[in-house]
Amino acid sequence: MSKASGLALGLALSSLFGTVQAADAATDDTRYQLGRKVFTEQAQPSCSLCHSLQDAGASGAIGPDLDQLKPTPERVMAAVRGGVGVMPAFEALLSAEQIEAVAHYVSQVTAQ
């Protein structure tokens, strides 16, 4: 492979990688927005009714303060699917996409 061909291939791969990163960022933003909507509106009862989460403007006092707990996405998904203590299970009420989105959202905003 000539130096020019190698350079062209490198530029093409770099461009492709940049496109993939942009698509991933757009997907993350969409998932983030859906997760925020699930947290504040779509889950019934609303997550914000029981949990405190500064980014969502939630100050519930029944469940844990998620800003302090800083749960991982896996921990949020497990809690949402199966319930914890007085928290009901939402597995039959929310889609897998909604559960993954709310887990992504909570873990992102509490990791800051």
User: What does each of the 112 residues of the chain score in pLDDT, given as a tens digit?
Assistant: 666 665 565 555 555 555 545 455 667 899 999 999 999 999 999 999 999 999 999 999 999 999 999 999 999 999 999 999 999 999 999 999 999 999 999 999 999 6
Q: Name 32's Cβ contacts closer than 8 Å, sequence gap at least 6.
A: 101, 104, 105, 108
What amino acid occupies position 40? T
Structural domain total, the chain: 1
pLDDT of residue 24: 58
pTM of the model: 0.76
User: For the domain that residue 63 is a member of, what is the CATH number?
Assistant: 1.10.760.10
Range of the domain at 33: 3-110
